[in-house]
Structure 1
Amino acid sequence: MEGTSVVYAGIDTHKDKYVLCVLNALGRIVYEGGFATDGAGYRSLAHTISDAGRCALVGIEGTALYGAGICSYLCERGYTVMEILRSKRDKRRRGSSKNDAIDAGTTARNAAAGHGTCVLKSRDGWSEAVRALLDLRELCVRTSTAASSAAKSLDNIAPEPIRSKYEKMSVLAMMKSLARKRSATGSAVTDALHTSLHVLAKTWIDAKQRADELEVLISDLVRDNAPALLEIDGCGARQRRGRQPRKAPLKSSTRLALRRLADRGVERQDRQAQAQPGR
């Protein structure tokens, strides 16, 4: 398959294999086959692409997941790589089943046509470090949330002396109290309940402490590499989902002037218009 003609390659990525499809400039299949997801498979796949011709572009699906390894390998060797977005199920041709070879060919054709392509995410530098720390911090937050919810649920079905003691406490006060070791009461049910609440409290405290430590590391990375972000209202090292930047309130004199100028009838019509759904 040696030659100097221009070819386009598409790779359908999986956990245990890569499926490669190489097309020529006319869209005809030059090569089609599978490769292992190890070092030997990387080398064999790269050699196959170079033997097929002068590769203009390599399209890969899932460059941040199963395709991360082969993507980095090809980029290091000078190949032009673009990420190809996976087509949604409702966009697939009716009657066509899931086929890795067809998907690899579709990826190569989309790469050649420029359909569904996007710039690769940078997998190095401080932004990748922040991404890794954010993923770990999100896991710690989910763990602490699950532990506190489980502790609240157990407290709701606990005997009255235990329930009345903790039901009005805040989460922090409840967890600190439950984290202290309790002496055995002689009742199997009560002792098991105390043990469960104690373990959940220790889990909550440990996960929260880890999340706070990771937040400090993230803040330091952002402050050292992108300090301007911290000066923007509503932006920070950790932005809560759904939270919008704070709007600047109107001055009292401006509000008073608007009240005097606005006619009540016009104001009422404006409220009715705003209540109507947009067309």
Structure 2
Amino acid sequence: MKKIYSLLLIALTSLSIAQNLVVNPTFSNVLTGWSSTGGGTGTNPLYVLPSHVTNEGQDDSFSVKYIATFTTGLDQKFSVVPGATVNVSFWYKAARTDGGATGNTARIWSLFTDPTSATPTTPINPTGTTSSSDDPLRNNNSYLAQASSWTQVTISSTVPVGATVFQLQLRAYNGATVSFDNISFSSPGASVLGAESFSQIDGMKMYPNPAKNNLFIETALNSDINVAIIDVLGKEVINSKVSNNAVNISGLTPGMYIVKITEEGKTSTKKLIIE
């Protein structure tokens, strides 16, 4: 009996010290380490980062919250080893802002890929699955249930043959108010892909916001930057190199836009209100 107890104690200890590789998992350091997933057209012009919250955390005061206007995507990437087990967990709250009992809320949409292949962004199905419909890391191609209090989701999977990167991603969708917190990822042999996970531009300032005639953008490097501005229908209305830190926006109609700023391979996206 003593031997069994000892083995059980060792097993529990091993589980308890599994290393969480997520950078800034509880958002105590605002959104450091997190990037927004790029791409999208139509009503989802770009995935954007949610707002940082300081009074509504699951385990402390901090979390992130998304009130649907655009689709949001929280993203970190990790190198992984084929055959290794991956464990993901996160806490969320979700409610339909239009009062609907069902519909799009949020989901985990995490992918295994091989960036060196001919199709670097194509998902490689996890071991034992055939598509998004039976992949728990993509929420079985469905949405999270509405939850008025913090609710935990835990998922285990196995890195498939050929995969070298795991993209941990959480999304929220139009029609929902969603909060995320306390996010965890662990896998033997895995490590954070810093260059991709920390793609936000250092020292970036964008002002004023709301704006009317000119938008000013400053960065720590103060090097050449490219600015793309996209309207709510996904149409790119401005795409230009910035000189003297100023972008002329006098020709834009009032409303909400997404600003995509690129400097030396790093990209940040910001919401912008035109008065």
Question: TM-score higher than 0.5 here?
Answer: no
Name the TM tier (shorter chain): under 0.3
**Does 1 or 2 have the higher relative contact order (CA < 8 Å, sep 6+)?**
2
Structure (1/2) with the larger helix percentage: 1
